[in-house]
Chains A and B, each alone.
Chain A
């Protein structure tokens, strides 16, 4: 059971709702993933807001929690205002806080992130910061009031998996009691399993499912991988070693020379 901001969430997979071939396939994928939290956004819409209203009705029918994001925001002011607007529209104090620095890598602006996290926490938001694996930044975010951290695995949409396993492992070791979610950059279910085997509490992904040939099947595959990885972590995996260690007992082996 994932615990975050005092809530218990049955699934350790958080799924994005963007980039699917159709709304119907998005719904199928969310169901197949068994995700209990989906990410959503706010955008300009012409003509009275028709498509946005339809989308929101679909999400409400799914009966999942929503985690609105501040995707695309490059300044503290933009991110804070977007969060305020999202809280009203989606009726939740949860916010996936993104303050982006670099347009090519979508790397977080960690200085802006810490500042915005502090402002939003004081306004009563429950902030899910999209951050890096930097330990100092993580510490600042926790001091600012965040009760969960969401370090990237790799740049958003890159499908590279866990770029810095050492960094993610260090973050896990430094903050054993903080819920940690690998957010972004996963491509295949084995990436998600690897994150869970490191002891991460959950993974958040979107593109890997939405752009797969069969999004619902891929969502199901990710759900299985997340469950397998978590079970493996709880089962206490053995350490890797350089040389072989025979598994069949040596004692009692016949002498047949």
Chain B
């Protein structure tokens, strides 16, 4: 299925958010996720299933002012 990851179209297997993060290479990384504009906490990733057309944001620590 096709989803958008940080604004870019990506083809992933239909699965949980947790599995998709692993597949995208974020396995051990400290990142926060939002699905279709809503925050998804770490503990909810294994029970959150992604669907075709979902918008996933994966944010990492960054410099800020």
Give the distance in Å from the alpha carbon of A18 to the alpha carbon of B65 in the complex: 6
Give the distance in Å from the alpha carbon of A53 to the alpha carbon of B61 in the complex: 7
Question: Measuring CB to CB, which residues of chain B are less than 8 angstroms from any residue of chain A?
Answer: 6-7, 24-27, 29-34, 37-39, 41-42, 57-65
**How many A-B pairs fall under 8 Å by CB?**
110
State whether A84 touches B64 (Cβ < 8 A). Answer: no
State whether A17 touches B63 (Cβ < 8 A). Answer: yes
Contact residues on A (Cβ < 8 Å of other chain), bracket: 35 or more
Q: A42-B60, A81-B38 are in contact. Are A49 and B30 (CB under 8 A)?
A: yes
Question: Measuring CB to CB, which residues of chain A are less than 8 angstroms from any residue of chain B?
Answer: 16-20, 26, 39-53, 55-56, 59, 68-69, 71, 77, 81-82, 84-86, 88-90, 156-157, 206-207
Q: A48-B29, A85-B34, A88-B41 are in contact. Are A43 and B65 (CB under 8 A)?
A: no
State whether B32 touches A42 (Cβ < 8 A). Answer: yes
Q: A44-B6, A44-B7, A81-B38 are in contact. Are A89 and B65 (CB under 8 A)?
A: no
State whether A56 touches B61 (Cβ < 8 A). Answer: yes
13 further contact pairs, Cβ within 8 A, besides A16-B65, A19-B65, A26-B63: A41-B62, A42-B59, A44-B7, A45-B60, A48-B24, A48-B26, A49-B58, A53-B29, A53-B60, A77-B37, A82-B59, A84-B39, A207-B65
